[in-house]
């Protein structure tokens, strides 16, 4: 049995299991991009400013350096085969809903990632908030 566990652990490292879940602390770990994603029961909606404030104030897993992800980080959790968030999230953003990113364009228009599409939106709209820490 011990040999099987060791083989599985080595296979995970060799074949790049990119995502793992820490169910105790309610986070999803992306080892490839060195990111940790919030995955607690508090996946809520808000304005862009509310999203920034929520992530900046978040303390999860004893860490306080959470932030709103940029559009590329947000895209990294999209499963392009199912057009949804990766299945490792236990509290996924609902299908056909959208999540804020920190990426912006002039005139206070921000990128929003929809599951499955992205688009630009004004800051007063209300979309889901998924916080991240670390960096690509």
Could you give the domains of the chain? 2-134 (3.10.100)
pLDDT of 71 strictly over 70: yes
Alpha-carbon span 102 to 110, nearest angstrom: 7
Q: What is the pLDDT, as a whole number, of residue 96? A: 67
CB count, 10 Å around CB of 131?
Answer: 23
List, as one string, the DSSP characters of 84-110. Answer: EE-TT-SSPPPTT-EEEEEEEETTTEE
Task: Give the pTM.
Answer: 0.76
Alpha-carbon span 1 to 41, nearest angstrom: 35
Alpha-carbon span 110 to 121, nearest angstrom: 5
pLDDT of 29 strictly over 90: yes
97 close to 58: Cβ distance less than 8 angstroms: no
Higher pLDDT residue, 129 or 84?
129
Alpha-carbon span 90 to 135, nearest angstrom: 22
């Amino acid at each position: 049995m011990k040999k099987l566990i060791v083989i599985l652990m080595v296979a995970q490292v060799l074949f790049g299991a990119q995502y793992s879940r820490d169910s105790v602390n309610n986070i999803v770990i992306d080892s490839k991009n060195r990111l940790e994603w919030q995955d607690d029961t508090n996946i809520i909606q808000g304005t862009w400013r509310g999203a920034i404030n929520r992530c900046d104030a978040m303390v999860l897993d004893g860490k306080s350096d959470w932030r709103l992800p940029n559009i590329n980080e947000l895209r990294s959790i999209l499963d392009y085969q199912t057009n949804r968030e990766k299945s490792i999230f236990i509290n996924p953003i609902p299908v056909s809903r959208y999540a804020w990113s920190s990426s912006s364009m002039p005139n206070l228009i921000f990128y929003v990632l929809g599951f499955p599409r992205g688009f630009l939106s004004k800051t007063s709209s209300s979309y889901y908030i998924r916080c991240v820490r670390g960096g690509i």
